[in-house]
């Protein structure tokens, strides 16, 4: 496994793999602090592609000025050990200066989709995400790039960007990996103490209740949202940021869930830690069920 720090080296390695060796490249972008959620993406990339590239980069442009960029967990030694165990071929771990060289001034924004839900709570977040993913896709030009449904809106935006700007990569979106308790795995779970970790399980419990109600015939978005709100408000450590039901592709806010899949998503503070989770309703695929393991 080679760890690459330079854009130039990453570009030339990827070019050689594609052109001279004719090998399919699978790419998994991450911010490190790896857990089983990330590893499920890598596992799928390994199964589908000849060569697996994983990026580890805590991207400053997707953090707001008062957010946790400085304290975000970083441990490249631990991450590299895990990636080697998973037979990853290349780790791309650039510095901020390498990713954003002096004078960097080009940004990608998926209009409309980027200002809602997470984008409304975290202005500028998705501009940072889509810009860094655009750079990474251009450097590596993977055949497949893998993302988790944990960040459902992110996956929707990236699919749209790839379509609109004609990137030559296929986007693969994989199910949420959860702990036994139902808590969606996330690097930010590292911030939670034991009591908060227990409290955080309310997110999945509330979403599961909504899914059950939906399956029993409740298709009104406001009523499903109310059900989730009531469940979460029972947990004293939880403070709701938003709960929303949107079309799973256009993110249009829905009043009623009909034919097309609906994204029921939420963001909740447990103490100072902001957690997100979601479930897709109106689609019976097993992989989208709350609690499904990858
Ligand atoms: P991050 O390091 O948080 O930027 O995440 C990198 C990728 O891993 C993103 O595509 C996430 O959606 C995905 N991911 C993070 N947590 C999970 C999870 N619990 N299950 C599935 N995918 C995840």
What residues contact residue 39 under an 8 Å CB cut-off, 6+ apart? Answer: 82, 86
Q: Are 23 and 17 in contact (CB under 8 A)?
A: yes
Q: How far, in Å, are 75, 149, 211, 218, 247 from residue 215 at the CA level?
A: 42, 21, 6, 7, 17
Is the CB–ligand 1 distance for residue 150 below 6 Å?
Answer: yes
**Is 38 part of the annotated catalytic residue set?**
yes
Q: Are 155 and 173 in contact (CB under 8 A)?
A: yes
Q: Which mutation among 118, 148, 276 tests ligand 1's pocket best, with the greatest number of atoms within 8 A of CB?
A: 148
Q: What is the pLDDT along the chain (294 residues), one digit of tens a residue?
A: 999 999 999 999 999 999 999 999 999 999 999 999 999 999 999 999 999 999 999 999 999 999 999 999 999 999 999 999 999 999 999 999 999 999 999 999 999 999 999 999 999 999 999 999 999 999 999 999 999 999 999 999 999 999 999 999 999 999 999 999 999 999 999 999 999 999 999 999 999 999 999 999 999 999 999 999 999 999 999 999 999 999 999 999 999 998 789 999 999 999 999 999 999 999 654 444 444 443
Whole-structure pTM value: 0.95
Tokens of 121: 């709570």
For tokens 């060289």, name the residue: 101
- For position 136, what pLDDT does the model report? 98
- Residue from 35, 38, 125, 219 carrying the catalytic annotation: 38
CB atoms within 10 A of CB 232: 19
Closest of 201, 153, 195, 202 to residue 173, by C-alpha: 153
- For position 284, what pLDDT does the model report? 52
- For position 260, what pLDDT does the model report? 86
Is the CB–ligand 1 distance for residue 185 below 6 Å?
Answer: yes
Helix axis angle, 152-164 relative to 125-140, nearest 10°? Answer: 50
Is the CB–ligand 1 distance for residue 37 below 6 Å?
Answer: yes
- Rounded CA-CA distance 275/207 in Å is 13
* DSSP for 122-135, written as a single string: STTHHHHHHHHHHH
Number of the ligand 1 atom closest to the C-alpha atom of 31 = 2
CB atoms within 10 A of CB 151: 20
């Amino acid at each position: 496994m080679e760890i690459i720090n330079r854009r130039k080296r990453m570009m030339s390695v990827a070019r050689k793999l594609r052109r001279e060796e004719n090998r399919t490249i699978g790419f998994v972008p991450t911010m490190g602090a790896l857990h089983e959620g990330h590893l499920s993406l890598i596992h799928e990339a390994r199964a589908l592609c000849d060569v697996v590239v994983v990026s580890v980069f805590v991207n400053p442009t997707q953090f707001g000025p008062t957010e946790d960029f400085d304290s975000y967990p970083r441990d490249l030694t631990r991450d590299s050990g895990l990636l080697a165990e998973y037979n990853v071929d290349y780790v791309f771990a650039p510095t901020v200066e390498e990713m954003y060289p002096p004078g960097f001034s080009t940004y990608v924004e998926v209009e409309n989709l980027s200002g809602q839900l997470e984008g409304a709570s975290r202005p500028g977040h998705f501009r940072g995400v889509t810009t860094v993913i655009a750079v990474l896709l251009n450097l590596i030009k993977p055949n497949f790039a893998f993302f988790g449904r944990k960040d459902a809106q992110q996956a929707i935006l990236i699919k749209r960007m790839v379509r609109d700007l004609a990137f030559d990569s296929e986007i693969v979106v994989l199910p949420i990996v959860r702990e036994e308790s139902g808590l969606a795995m996330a690097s930010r779970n590292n911030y939670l103490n034991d009591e908060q970790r227990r409290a955080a399980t309310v997110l999945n419990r509330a979403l599961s209740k909504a899914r059950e109600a939906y399956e029993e015939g409740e298709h009104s978005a406001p009523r499903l949202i109310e059900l989730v709100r009531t469940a979460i408000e029972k947990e004293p450590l939880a403070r709701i940021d938003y709960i929303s039901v949107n079309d799973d592709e256009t993110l249009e806010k829905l009043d009623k869930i009909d034919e097309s899949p609906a994204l029921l998503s939420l963001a909740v503070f447990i103490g100072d830690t902001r957690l997100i989770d979601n479930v897709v309703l109106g689609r019976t695929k097993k992989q989208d069920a709350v609690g499904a393991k990858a």
